[in-house]
Amino acid sequence: MTNIFIIARKEIQEGLRNRWVLATTLLLAALALTLTFLGSAPTGNIGASALDVVIVSLSSLSIFLVPLIALLISHDAIVGEMERGTMLLLLSYPVGRWQVIAGKFAGHLAILAFATLLGYGAAAVALAATGADIDRSSFGAFASMILSSILLGAVFIAIGYLVSVLVRERGTAGGIAIGVWLLYVLIYDMALLGLLVVDQGRIISGGVLDALLLANPTDAYRLLNLSSGNVGALSGMGGVAENAALSPATLVGALLVWVAVPLSAAALVFSRREL
Amino acid sequence: MVETVQVSNVAKSYGAVQAVREISCVFREGETIALVGHNGAGKTTLIKLMLGLVKPTAGTVRVLGEDPAAGQFEARRRLGYLPENVSFNMALTGRETLAFYARLKRVPVETTGALLERVGLGGAADRRVGTYSKGMRQRLGLSQALLGQPRVLLLDEPTTGLDPALRRSFYDIVAELRAGGATVLLSSHALTELEGRADRVVIVDRGVKIADGTLDDLRRIARLPTRIRLTLAGEVVSAADDWARAGGWRRVNGRQLEIDAEPGEKVAVLRRVAEPGAPVADFDVIPPTLDELYAHFLEARGRGE
C-alpha cells in the first residue's frame, strides 16, 4: 500500500512540475466557462434550468475531451519509462510490478480528478455567482456529471496503460491511443447508428442494443448523464433512454468494469514482461 | 566468508538468442568482483538475473538467500543497483529523485542530503535533473545505489562519464563498502582502471564464463610474459649491442632495451640486469595488464573452438 502511495505521489509531483495539471485544469475551466456563458444565452427563459443546459453541453464536451486527456497522460506511462530507461531502475527496487501500475493509476487519476473538479466546478460557481436560478436536483445532476466524468477518465487511463504495456515503442502507443479514441468517441456511434437504421428493428432487440451501448464506455457515460429528468428532455437522449432498460447503477457498474478489466490486464501483461 | 550471491548453472535465452549459456559463480561478503566481457557478452543479462528482472531459462540464482525473481522483496532492500546509462525523470530535482528512491527502500529521507554531499552533488541537489551533465547523472545514480547500506552492489559500467577525480572518489566509496563487508560487482570495459581495485576477475564471453580468479591467479594461468625494460648507464652503445646479442632484448631507442620474460626466466633475467657491473641505470618490471590478460583468455577460447 505504501509503495502505491509513494509512486502516486511521484506521478503527481511530476504532473505538477511539467505543467500537466495546470494545462489540463485551465483547458477544462476555460471550455466549461465558455460553454456556460455562451450556451446559456440562446435558451433565454424557456424554462430550462441554466445548470441543466450546462450539464448537457459539458457532458457532450467531456465525451470528446476527457478520454483524450486520459489517453494522453496514460499511453506513455509504461512504454515511455521503459524507453527512457527509468523503469529498469524502478523495478530493481522492492516494488511489485502491479504496485507500479496501481501507483501510476492513482496518481494520474488524482491529476485528472483535480482538473475536472476545479475546471467544471468553476463553471458551476460562476453560474451561481451570476444569480441564475438553480434548483437542488440540478446540483445533484451536476455533481454526478463531474463524478462520472472522472470515472470516464479512469476508464481511458486504464485502457491507455493496457496499450502502454503491450507495445515496444512510444510512437506505436501514441498511434494506438489515437485509434482507440477515434473508435470509441466517433466511429462506434456512427457505426451503431448506421446499423440501427439498416436493421429497422428486425434483428437488434432492446437487449442487444443495451449490450452494444455498454460495450462502449462513452455511450454508458452519455446515457448516464444525458437521459435523466430535465436533462433528458433537453438533450434528446430521453427517447433512447426510455427504450434502453439500463439503470444508472448498471451504467456505473459497466464503467467500473471498464476500469477494472483493462487495468488488471495491464498489470498481468506487465508482470509477465521481460525487461 | 558468507556467500551473498550464488549463481548455479544459469542459462537465459531471449527467443533464439542465448544471452547466457551456462554460468556458475559465487560471490562472498567483502569481495569486489570485476565482471569483464565484450558488449553483448552477457554481463548485463547476468546482472538482471541477479536483480530478478528476468527469470533464468535454466538454473538457479540466489541473492542474500532469496530467489530474486520470486517476488520477495526483503533482499532487494539490501541491494544497490546502478544501471548502464542510468536515467531519471527530467522534471524533478536531484533531491526529490533521491527522496523518492529512499522512500521505496524505506530509508529515512533525511539521510539523503548527506548521500548527495558524498557523491559531490550537494550544490546541485535542488536543480532539475534535466539540467545535469552526464557525470552528474551518473553521480545521482551512484547515490541511489548507495541508499540504505547495501550488502550487495551491482554496478553496470559505473565509471563511464566520470572525470578522473570523481573516478577516484568513486573507488574510495567502493573500498569503504568493501571494508564494511559489502559484495561489490563492477562490470566494466575499462580494465586497466580495475587493476588493484578488484579482488577477483570474472571474464565472460558469448554467455560463458571463461575465467574466474584473482588477478594473480589469472596471471599464473595465462603464463603471459612480463615485460622488463632497462635504461643503460652512460653512452655505452656497444654494451647495448652486447645485451641485444645476448638474446631476446629489443632496442626501444639508443639507451633503452626491452625483453618479454616468460614467468620461469623472469628471475634469471632480473639477476643479470641487477648484477654488479651491469651497465644499467634503471629498470622497470611491467606485469601483464588486465587488458592483455583479457585478450589472452579470449584468444585461448577462440583457439579452443
B53 touches chain A (CB under 8 A): yes
Kindly indicate the confidence band of residue A236, based on its pLDDT and cuts at 50, 70 and 90.
Answer: low
Q: What is the pLDDT of residue A11?
A: 93
Q: What is the pLDDT of residue A18?
A: 83
Strand partners, B33: B185, B200
pLDDT digits (tens, 9 = 90+) for A203-219: 777 788 888 888 999 99
| Cα B13-B19-B23 angle, rounded to 5 deg | 100
Strand partners, B229: B258, B284
The answer to whether residues B34 and B186 touch, using CB atoms and an 8 Å cutoff, is: yes
Chain A hits for B87, Cβ within 8 Å = 84-86
Share of chain A above pLDDT 70, in %: 88
Instruction: Say if the Cβ atoms of A86 and B89 lie within 8 Å.
Output: yes
Q: What is the pLDDT of residue A46?
A: 52
Q: What is the pLDDT of residue A5?
A: 94
Enter the C-alpha cell of residue B229: 625494460
Distance, C-alpha A102 to centroid of its chain: 18
Kindly indicate the confidence band of residue A257, based on its pLDDT and cuts at 50, 70 and 90.
Answer: very high
Instruction: Say if the Cβ atoms of A86 and B87 lie within 8 Å.
Output: yes
Chain A hits for B92, Cβ within 8 Å = 10, 13-14, 17
Q: Is the pLDDT of residue A61 over 80?
A: yes
Enter the C-alpha cell of residue B86: 542510468
Instruction: Say if the Cβ atoms of A85 and B89 lie within 8 Å.
Output: no
B85 touches chain A (CB under 8 A): yes
- Could you tell me which chain B residue has the CA closest to the CA of A85? B87
Kindly indicate the confidence band of residue B77, based on its pLDDT and cuts at 50, 70 and 90.
Answer: confident
- B273 vs B230: CA distance, rounded Å: 8
Q: Which of A18, A91, A96 sits opposite B53 (nearest CB)?
A: A91
Distance, C-alpha A218 to centroid of its chain: 8
Q: Which of A17, A84, A96 sits opposite B87 (nearest CB)?
A: A84
Straight-line distance from the first to the last Cα atom of chain A, in angstroms, rounded to the nearest whole number:
24
- What's the whole-model pTM score? 0.86
Kindly indicate the confidence band of residue B244, based on its pLDDT and cuts at 50, 70 and 90.
Answer: low
Q: Greater confidence, B292 or A242?
A: B292
B78 touches chain A (CB under 8 A): no
Q: Specify burial of residue A122 (Cβ count, 10 A radius: 0-12, 13-18, 19+).
A: middle
Instruction: Say if the Cβ atoms of B14 and A274 lie within 8 Å.
Output: yes
Q: What is the pLDDT of residue A234?
A: 57
The answer to whether residues B258 and B248 touch, using CB atoms and an 8 Å cutoff, is: no
Chain B hits for A85, Cβ within 8 Å = 83, 85-87
Determine the average pLDDT of the residues in B151-178: 85
Q: Specify burial of residue B43 (Cβ count, 10 A radius: 0-12, 13-18, 19+).
A: buried
pLDDT digits (tens, 9 = 90+) for B79-112: 999 998 889 988 899 999 999 999 999 999 999 9
User: Cα-flanking dihedrals φ and ψ of residue A7, to 5°?
Assistant: -70, -40
Kindly indicate the confidence band of residue B224, based on its pLDDT and cuts at 50, 70 and 90.
Answer: confident
Helix A248-272 crosses helix A206-214 at what angle (to 10 degrees)? 50
Q: What is the pLDDT of residue A182?
A: 95
Q: Which of B177, B186, B266 is nearest to B220 (CA)?
A: B266
**Lowest-confidence pick of A4-18, A174-188, A245-259:** A245-259
Distance, C-alpha B32 to centroid of its chain: 8
The answer to whether residues B124 and B132 touch, using CB atoms and an 8 Å cutoff, is: yes
- B299 vs B292: CA distance, rounded Å: 10
DSSP state letters, A207-272 = HHHHHHHHTSHHHHHHHHHHSSHHHHHHHT-HHHHHHS---HHHHHHHHHHHHHHHHHHHHHHHHH
Q: Which of B79, B92, B141 sits opposite A14 (nearest CB)?
A: B92
- B61 vs A42: CA distance, rounded Å: 72
**Lowest-confidence pick of A51-55, A68-72, B53-57, B206-210:** A51-55
